[in-house]
Structure 1
Amino acid sequence: MSEITPELVRHLGELARIRLDDDEVTRLTGQLDAIVDNIAKVSQVATPDVVATSHPIPLENVFRPDTVGEVLTTAQALQNAPDAAGDRFRVTAILGEEQ
């Protein structure tokens, strides 16, 4: 028995303020019904004795050595800045501060 009906899809569209034509309602009815069916299948398999996991394979952080590479000079970093003050970028004030 299908839980998702065209009327339900139309109602959900109205709640979301999305205008749906008849073709979209038909397509979404089938897609949403398939999603609900798949969630029901997963719910049947998910039992309390199955441990929840976020990853099937244990994760391990891999770090590279932190070495200094080539860096830009201050002049190079500021050469294309729309506005600079001394050796800093100048930006518009935020959070209610005066400009």
Structure 2
Amino acid sequence: MFGMNTERERNSKPMGGGLGYMLLGAGVAAWWLSKEENRSKFDRFLNTTKNKISKEPVPSPENFPVLKAGNPDPEDIADNKMVEEGSQFGVHYYDEKRTKLE
């Protein structure tokens, strides 16, 4: 018993260990944002970051599939095979729905 920690002392965590760091960070942020110049810098940073994240990638003009539409290359075997097979998805879907109703 003497000199040994009890079960409760071994399993307990120090209370409020991260709270001090959070309060310190909030205080530093409040001090830094108290200046108008820093607020405008932070606002610009947030807007540019939001624009970078929300931007959809634009394909390069040479890889854009619509430019190829209506003018297929006779040497593009994979494309010609796809066009030859045609799309059966719509027909298959309609047939499934019709057979389920009957």
**Bigger radius of gyration, 1 or 2?**
2
Please identify which structure carries the higher strand content: 1
Task: State TM-score, norm by structure 1.
Answer: 0.37
Higher RCO structure, 1 or 2 (CA under 8 Å, sep 6+): 1
Task: State TM-score, norm by structure 2.
Answer: 0.36
Please identify which structure carries the higher helix content: 2
